[in-house]
Amino acid sequence: MKKIAILASGNGSNAEEIMKYFQGSQKGKVILIGSNKKEAFVLERARKFGIDSFIFNKTEMEDGGVTKRLQENKVDFVVLAGFLLKIPDNLLHAYPNQIINIHPALLPKYGGKGMYGTKVHEAVKASGDKQTGITIHLVNENYDEGKIIFQAAVSISPEDDSEAIAKKVHQLEYKYFPNVIESLL
């Protein structure tokens, strides 16, 4: 059974869906949640599921402290679920092709540094696009540029505001992200 760690910076709704999904799985188990924000609600979600969690800062991420923690826990696979820090080379080298991210748009559109959450949905709305979606991709040294593993799209209407777009995207995330993770284990 593969050991999964989730890194998240915020609310953790995707992390919760992943924790739920893998509770009865024979392929993988979420064993660790890490966050760079001590007030992130994802930490409360981890407690609810009885999953160990830890808080770290940017320096600990860059100097290998996070990588060491993951390795000490024998983590096999790393999932970014609303994680906002850039992944440093030490972590990329320790987990080659074993770190994935979910992005709330159809990359390569609306990706890159600073494009996350509501900012993405507002950009989609402003563009007049008729669809948006999710992209699950491998993580590399650049924001949102790793190999695309999976995409799913949803139609949006001119009446949809960024909040309505976000709801549609969240439904895709909850439906597909845990399944794609399992398929990669």
The yes-or-no answer on residue 103 being catalytic is: yes
Round to the nearest angstrom and report the end-to-end CA distance of the chain. Answer: 9
d(CA 154, CA 74): 37
CA separation for the pair 12, 48 (Å, rounded): 12
Cβ neighbours of residue 159 closer than 8 Å, sequence gap 6 or more? none
**Cα distance between residue 119 and residue 115, in whole Å:** 6
Tokens at 69, concatenated: 């923690």
Q: Tell me the C-alpha distance between 4 and 19, whole Å.
A: 10
Q: 6: which 2 tokens?
A: 């989730």
Dist. CA 3–CA 185, nearest whole Å: 9
Q: Please pick, among 103, 121, 137, 170, the residue that the annotation labels catalytic.
A: 103
How far apart are the C-alpha atoms of 39 and 81, rounded to whole Å?
16
Q: Please list the active-site residues.
A: 103
